[in-house]
Amino acid sequence: MENKLIYKVYDFFNNIIYPHGIKLSSASSEVMSEKICPVTGLNISMQPKNSKFLSASGVKWHYENNRKVFDKVLVPRLTDSYKSKDVNIQFREIAHSIRNADSNPRNNTRRAIQKLLDEKDSLFNNMQLIDKTKIQEAGMSSTIL
């Protein structure tokens, strides 16, 4: 019990000194890597180990424990129609917005490429017209069709 309190104090000071990235814990003197959401850059170590993005529970944690970050980083992700809704609905919508920020560019690019390739009246192979980086961004291989 007492050790857990010490770790929390060290984590608090480490978050102040090193807000992002790797931090050192003085209590154990081993390097601990902090899980970071790739979209927001916020700490997601309070979530399950397999989490990649800030989830609704992580948004709720920031709401309860770090209100400044919540107001500055997460609230702008809400559309006007959701600002008057219940806070739990707002948490889910913020998490949904974060996931969309990662997946929408990839999905939209893939759809646009597929639409270009699916044209029936095309005389030529349109695959040569598509930038290779866009094909990789869409998660497609250049050998399709």
The answer to whether residue 43 sits within a structural domain is no
The answer to whether residue 10 sits within a structural domain is yes
Question: Is residue 72 located within the same domain as residue 7?
Answer: no
pLDDT for 32 beyond 60: no
Question: Is residue 59 located within the same domain as residue 129?
Answer: yes
The answer to whether residue 102 sits within a structural domain is yes
Please state the rounded mean pLDDT for residues 28-43.
74
Q: How many domains does the chain have?
A: 2
Q: What is the mean pLDDT of the chain?
A: 80
Cα separation, 129 vs 55, whole angstroms: 38
**Nearest CA among 103, 67, 105 for reference residue 87:** 67
Cα separation, 83 vs 94, whole angstroms: 11
Question: Is residue 28 located within the same domain as residue 71?
Answer: no
Q: What is the pLDDT of residue 133?
A: 84
Question: Is residue 90 located within the same domain as residue 131?
Answer: yes
Domain range for residue 29? 1-34
